[in-house]
Structures are given as structure tokens and as C-alpha cells.
Copies of this chain bind each other. A is one copy, B any other.
Amino acid sequence: MPKFDGNGLLTAVAIDHRNGALLMLAHMNAEAFAKTRETGFAHFHSRSRGKLWMKGESSGHVLKVIEIRVDCDQDAVELRVEPAGPACHTLAATCFYRRIADDGTLERIID
């Protein structure tokens, strides 16, 4: 089982299982991790709001979890997911939709 840090959290990275795209990064406490395994949909712990949330609970853009992988030191998990719509709250397909150009500016590269 994964190891939670001093704040009771671990980092979860959501990857689209169909094409390997990095979709988003969020945090899980033990409750969010258990809910994710129990329901098959990604749940996270909001550090700002201090509570459990299901990704897509208001937008409908849920992440169906196909597989959960853990890293070597077990403090991070990879969620292999099937997204129902855009993963980002900005409605981009992924939260990582901009690259840093050589001059330091941000360039949008993904719709």
C-alpha cells in the first residue's frame, strides 16, 4: 500500500491509458485513495478546501480508473484513466497544455 507523507498525502498523477498523455496531478489522502479503489473513479483531497472531491463531480468530466501503479518508494501513484471529456478545469484536454519557450514565455501547444 502507498505511504502517505507527514501531511497524510501522496501525489497522484493521472495518465490517459489510451495515449499516455499526462492529464493532471493532484493529492490523495487515505480517504481519497480508498474511495478511488472502491468506486473506480478518481477522488482527491483538496488541500485548499481541506476536503474530499471526486474529479468531475460538478463538470461531469470524471476519470475512470483502469489501473493504479505505485512508484519505487511508494509515495506516489500513477492512475491509468479513461477521461470523460477534458481533464482540465480550463476545458483543455490536459492541464499541461503549455510549454515554456526558450525565452521563458508560455506557449499553448494543446487545445
Return A51 CB to nearest CB of chain B, in Å.
18
A84 CB-CB contact with B under 8 Å: no
A24 CB-CB contact with B under 8 Å: yes
Q: For the complex formed by this chain, how many copies does it contain in all? A: 2
Number of A residues with CB within 8 Å of any CB on chain B: 34
Chain B's closest residue to A25 (CB) is: B76
In the bound complex, residues from chain B placing their C-beta under 8 Å from that of A11 are: 11, 25
Q: How far is the CA of A80 from the CA of B102 in the complex (A)?
A: 15
A13 touching B25 in the complex, CB below 8 Å, given contacts A68-B99, A97-B72, A100-B70:
yes
Chain A residues at the B interface, C-beta cutoff of 8 Å: 1, 11, 13, 15, 19-22, 24-25, 37, 67-73, 76-78, 88-90, 92, 95-100, 104, 106, 109
